[in-house]
Amino acid sequence: MRLFIAIELDDSIKKSLTGAMHDLKKSGVRGSYTASNNLHLTLAFIGEVEDALELKTALQSVSFKPFKLSLSDFGNFEDILWIGVKGNQGLSQAAKGVREALDQAGISYDRKKFTPHITLVRKAAGSWKTVKPPKGEMMVKKISLMKSSVKDGKTVYTRVLSV
């Protein structure tokens, strides 16, 4: 199964992001838009795993204090358009704690530099410069182990465990 560790977003943030994606479409930005129920912030991408028991145990060892997550500005990695989040010590500590727990358990994961973002459009084409970034914030009280699967040709993210 294909796994990642993420912050699940609350409904108010998803609504704000969905509105921004609607504005992007109206301004002519084309691409593969993220389904609103799949919007999340990845802390660590694990990839294919046969047995998630060690991963679940590692995740349960992570502790962090609740923190506020606030949306920021649009950004991109080549043709991936995303919305960033404001820099914040709580988020940095949660990401660091997750990665340290994975390291201690000997679990491999994508070690790219952590750049907190929420992917909105893959294979994006067109200019988003005229679209106002969405506003929103939420309290983060848990992190989740998520499974990515394909059902009826669509990617679906399902929570496996939250801590």
Torsional class of 38: left (φ above 0), alpha (ψ -120 to 50), beta (otherwise): alpha
Query: What's the DSSP call for residue 106?
Result: T
- Quote the crossing angle between the two packed helices 89-105 and 53-60, to the nearest 10°: 140
Sort strands 144-151 and 137-140 into parallel, antiparallel or unpaired.
unpaired
Catalytic residue among 117, 118, 121, 157: 117
Query: Is residue 22 annotated as a catalytic residue, yes or no?
Result: no
Given a contact cutoff of 8 angstroms between Cβ atoms, the answer to whether 143 and 98 are in contact is yes
Query: What's the DSSP call for residue 4?
Result: E
Catalytic residue among 14, 40, 71, 74: 40
Q: Which residues contact 9 (CB under 8 A, 6 or more apart)?
A: 17, 39, 40, 41, 118, 138
Which sequence positions are flagged as catalytic?
40, 117
